[in-house]
Structure 1
Amino acid sequence: MHIAEGFLPAGHAAAWTVAAAPFVVHGARAVVKEVRENPDSTLLLGAAGAFTFVLSAIKLPSVTGSSSHPTGTGPGAVLFRPPVMALLGTVVLLFQALLLAHGGLTTLGANAFAFAVVGPWAGYGAYRLARGAGAGLLPAVFAAVALADLATYVTTSVQLALAFPDAESGVAGALLKFLGVFALTQIPLAIGEGLLGVLLFRALTTNARPELERLGILAPAPTPTGGSA
């Protein structure tokens, strides 16, 4: 998800920037609306952004010789819906490019599309499908967080394959190679991130239940009724 500065051809970098821009603009409006209508959610929004920044900044060596990162976008997508994460995720990538040399400015659009757009939408889709199928909150959160992580790296693999097709097998052959380098080795990390998401939401259900009820994550607790004497 952190394609390095200058790594993509200029045309590809520009195209991915154009593709990501509408989602980021929509996300900015969604954040402004959320803060304006629910000022109390500001703290949780900040926590979602900080969680994404810290988790996605962790750099782990990969058995393929590359490196892997958790993404951290799944919890925010479940809490505030994917449009909000389009902005938060892009801001996270911008600061990581400037402060940590993870990714870059020319590749910000491509990284944002994979990390802040596709990942959150895939995770949120998994969450909604799981809940609609009758799954409890925590299994649905696990599916959301794990798939948001994995979908990000699958998208990055597609972006790289389009930019650097194999000389003999073209884009399809390059995609298989990039998936083997990035997405396949990401599976255990996605599972671990899913479990971390479950722990996070267990803590939230204990310490921030009113906020989860307001966001529609949990049903309101039944009001106790007093019996007659």
Structure 2
Amino acid sequence: MDHVLRGLREQRPLVQCITNSVVTNFTANVLLSAGASPAMSDVPGEAGPFAEIADALLVNLGTPTSEQRDAAREAVRADVPWVLDPVGVGALTLRTELAFELLRRRPGVIRGNASEILVLARAGSGARGVDAQDSSDSALDAARRLAGETGSVVAVSGETDYVTDGERTLRIEGGSELLTRVTGAGCSLGALMAACLAVAPALEAAAAASAAYAVASERAERQSRGPGSFAVALLDEIAALRPEDLSGRVAEEGRR
């Protein structure tokens, strides 16, 4: 997966983010630290045209205002590789209906926690708020099925991350528990996947982004005193990552 990070640093893709208002700043900083160029363009009338010039797109449903919903619908019509992050689906009707609508536009990657993926695979009822109530292992079969049905790569985040296209499944172990205590950490992973999607095929892009997050978060935890210092250290460690740091972090689960 080292070639994905190398390509990201060389090409510096322009990543359009239609994301939730809680995480905008942190998401932009993660992309800058990784070597990408973020653009938080989520205004109807601009989102569609901007997506035409972007290298990749993130659609995150964390705060689906009416303007963001319209912007997302515009942007996904563009010929641009994109990531759907279905934050909080199942718990709330509006965003759940929007997620299923956007699925018909065939995202390159669907990234979510186990509970969110189970909802999209019609195998679960969702989580309490944005926190997963299910393990990534319990959602793996549903993720494979969802990938087969949609043609998208599905990335399940958790104690172990899984990335699958329905046939191949990649496993990424590790990462810091402190990621769950920083607002925007998961949402920013979706943005990093979009950046990687601009330079690599979807399965490799999602796995490389997960591996980069695992390595950087482990290193950040070792030098932090808690969530605040960890968030700053995470940005530093993402910026300091070398392509070879990802070697050996992705394992093949096998083909179905």
TM-score by length of 2: 0.29
Structure 1 or 2: larger strand share? 2
Which structure has the larger Rg? 1
TM-score by length of 1: 0.32
Structure 1 or 2: larger helix share? 1
